[in-house]
Structure 1
Amino acid sequence: MKKILFASVLGLSLLSCKENKSRNAPAVENAVDNAESSVSGSLKSYRKDNMIDQIYSELIKNDKSLKALDDKLIQLSEENGKVLAIYGETLQKSESFYADAYYQAGTIKDSLLKQKLEKEIKISSDMYDLKISKVKELIAKVNTNNDDINNLYTAFKIRKTLPEIEKYQNAHPMKTDQLDNFINKQNQLLNELKNLK
């Protein structure tokens, strides 16, 4: 008996899902309906499968100026990485050298030699820090500019896609009649089940 009831409940659920799908066909085609799960080309956000990036990617397909802007930002982002990598490698090697020098000097048993060597390392390290202070300042400025560019572009994409999600919402009105009908079916089945003996 339980198997028959379960099968009928499952059948009703599947039937109502099929009815809902056919009735909820999109009335107007828009960027939200066309948005793909994987965004191609666009400068992406950190989240995977980001709806804003998916919708914006659809908008780019039909707008040459948006595509040109996106391409410019992608190119600038790639250049940013390359420029910082050039300086980053040199800075990293120098920092690693001084860290290793301090560590190895710390293993010397002769305390006078150890002190003298640590002093020499510190003088060299301080001189290097002074020499690269301008470089570090400029790297910080590059990073700040990059953050500002990303923030402004994210805000632009959100503003550009807001009308698209609103268009999608208008094309997919959330009427309650199907839910009401389904709840009535559920209630009928609930009453049947309650009356079973």
Structure 2
Amino acid sequence: MTTKIFLSTALVLLLASCKDNTTQETPQPETPKAFKEKSSYEIVSKGPRAGDLVDVLYEELLSKDTGLHMLEAQINDLNRSKNDSVKSFNRFHGRMQSYFESTDTHVSEIRDSLLRDKIKLIIASHLAKYDARVARHHELLKVLAAKDINISDLHTALKIVKTLPVIEKYQQTNLPAIQQIEGYIKQQDQAIHLADTLLKK
């Protein structure tokens, strides 16, 4: 009889300990590093956009998402190579602008008005030809600028869309209980009541 009671007790204790173990093993949602320690957030926040939690949280996601990591690498490559792509034309165009600005100065020094007007027409003709030559370059630079804006807008939108679920999870698991606030309000009520009572004496 004693053996049966012992076995039954042991079985109950074993089941209880198993139940406790399963409860303890339930994984908790991972808290973003930015919210774990104040110091870690402050370190990350010393960049050009200090205090920008969207950027901080997005940086955390990069290490876990290969797609995002690839996109960031591509955007960085684009930013590095953009200057190389337009540098030679910008230098060339700058020289042409400088030349035609210089001709204006020289033309103004011609005292003969008929000759001055004739030279102005020649310069205007050459400038029109040059503008026609570089028209396609300017069109492409406009396309480039528009695509830069498009990439920047999509990048910003992606950061927000990807970090919103992180914030949502953090809200669900870390929202403080209201008891502390309610307790403080009760203390305020007591202080108000006491002050009111003393005032009426």
Global fold match (TM > 0.5): yes
Superposition deviation, residue 166 in structure 1: 0.9
Match of 2:101 in 1: 99
Q: Please give the residue correspondences for 1:99-118 in structure 2 after superposition, counting only pairs within 5 Å.
A: 99-118=101-120
2:71 paired with 1:69: yes
**What amino acid is the match of 1:142?**
L
For this pair of structures, how many residues does the alignment match?
A: 166
Output the aligned Cα RMSD: 3.1
Equivalent-residue separation in structure 2 for 1:178 and 1:107 (angstroms):
84
Larger radius of gyration: 2
Gaps of 5+ in 2: 1-28
Once the two structures are aligned, what percentage of the paired residues are identical? 26
Match of 1:154 in 2: 156
Match of 2:81 in 1: 79
Equivalent-residue separation in structure 2 for 1:185 and 1:87 (angstroms):
73
Give the TM-score normalised by structure 2: 0.66
Q: Please give the residue correspondences for 1:146-185 in structure 2 after superposition, counting only pairs within 5 Å.
A: 146-185=148-187
**What amino acid is the match of 1:37?**
S
Higher relative contact order (CA 8 A, sep 6+): 1
Judge conservation of contact 2:32–2:57 (CA < 8 Å) in 1: no
Superposition deviation, residue 104 in structure 1: 4.3
2:45 paired with 1:37: yes
Superposition deviation, residue 90 in structure 1: 1.7
Equivalent-residue separation in structure 2 for 1:123 and 1:76 (angstroms):
38
Seen in structure 2, the aligned counterparts of structure 1 residues 159 and 184 have a Cα distance that, compared at 3 Å, is same
Judge conservation of contact 1:31–1:164 (CA < 8 Å) in 2: no
Equivalent-residue separation in structure 1 for 2:109 and 2:51 (angstroms):
51
- Deviation track 1:145-197 (CA, whole Å, cap 9, x = no partner) reads 2222222222222211111111122232143332233344445556667758x
Seen in structure 2, the aligned counterparts of structure 1 residues 115 and 64 have a Cα distance that, compared at 3 Å, is same
Gaps of 5+ in 1: 1-26
Judge conservation of contact 2:54–2:160 (CA < 8 Å) in 1: yes
Judge conservation of contact 1:55–1:161 (CA < 8 Å) in 2: yes
Judge conservation of contact 1:33–1:168 (CA < 8 Å) in 2: no
Match of 2:62 in 1: 60
Match of 1:51 in 2: 53
Give the TM-score normalised by structure 1: 0.68
Equivalent-residue separation in structure 1 for 2:83 and 2:173 (angstroms):
42
Superposition deviation, residue 55 in structure 1: 0.9
Judge conservation of contact 1:105–1:114 (CA < 8 Å) in 2: yes
Superposition deviation, residue 71 in structure 1: 1.0
Judge conservation of contact 2:107–2:120 (CA < 8 Å) in 1: yes
**What amino acid is the match of 1:97?**
Y
Greater alpha carbon shift after TM alignment, 174-183 vs 132-141: 174-183
